[in-house]
Chain A
Amino acid sequence: AQSVAQPEDQVNVAEGNPLTVKCTYSVSGNPYLFWYVQYPNRGLQFLLKYITGDNLVKGSYGFEAEFNKSQTSFHLKKPSALVSDSALYFCAVSPRNSGGYQKVTFGIGTKLQVIP
Chain B
Amino acid sequence: NAGVTQTPKFQVLKTGQSMTLQCAQDMNHEYMSWYRQDPGMGLRLIHYSVGAGITDQGEVPNGYNVSRSTTEDFPLRLLSAAPSQTSVYFCASSYGLAGGPGEQFFGPGTRLTVL
A interface list, Cβ under 8 A from B? 4, 32, 34, 36, 41-46, 49, 51, 90, 94-109
Give the interface SS of chain A, mostly helix, strand, loop or mixed: loop
Show the binding face of B for A, using Cβ within 8 Å: 4, 31, 33, 35, 40-45, 48, 50, 56, 58-59, 90, 92, 96-109
Given contacts A103-B45, A103-B48, A107-B42, contact A96 B103 (CB under 8 A): no
Q: Which chain B residues border A45 with CB–CB below 8 Å?
A: 106
Measured between beta carbons, the chain A residues less than 8 angstroms from B108 are 42-43
Shortest CB-to-CB span from B22 to chain A, Å, is 15
Contact of B109 among A43, A96, A106, A108 (CB under 8 A): A43
Docked complex Cα distance between A109 and B41 (Å): 8
> If the complex has contacts A97-B99, A100-B99, are A46 and B43 also in contact, measured as CB distance less than 8 A?
no
Q: Which residues of B sit under 8 angstroms from A49, Cβ to Cβ?
A: 102-103
Contact B42 A90 (CB under 8 A): yes
Which DSSP category, helix, strand, loop or mixed, fits chain B's interface? Answer: strand
| Known interface pairs A32-B100, A97-B100, A101-B101; A43-B45 also in contact (CB < 8 Å) | no
Given A49-B102, A96-B99, 20 more A-B residue pairs with CB atoms under 8 Å apart are A4-B42, A32-B97, A32-B100, A32-B101, A43-B4, A44-B90, A46-B105, A49-B103, A94-B100, A96-B100, A101-B31, A101-B101, A103-B59, A104-B33, A104-B104, A105-B45, A107-B42, A108-B40, A108-B42, A109-B42
Q: Which residues of chain A are within 8 angstroms of B31 by Cβ–Cβ distance?
A: 101
| 3 nearest A-B residue pairs (beta carbon) | A43-B106, A46-B103, A108-B42
Report how far A104 CA is from B97 CA in the complex, Å: 13
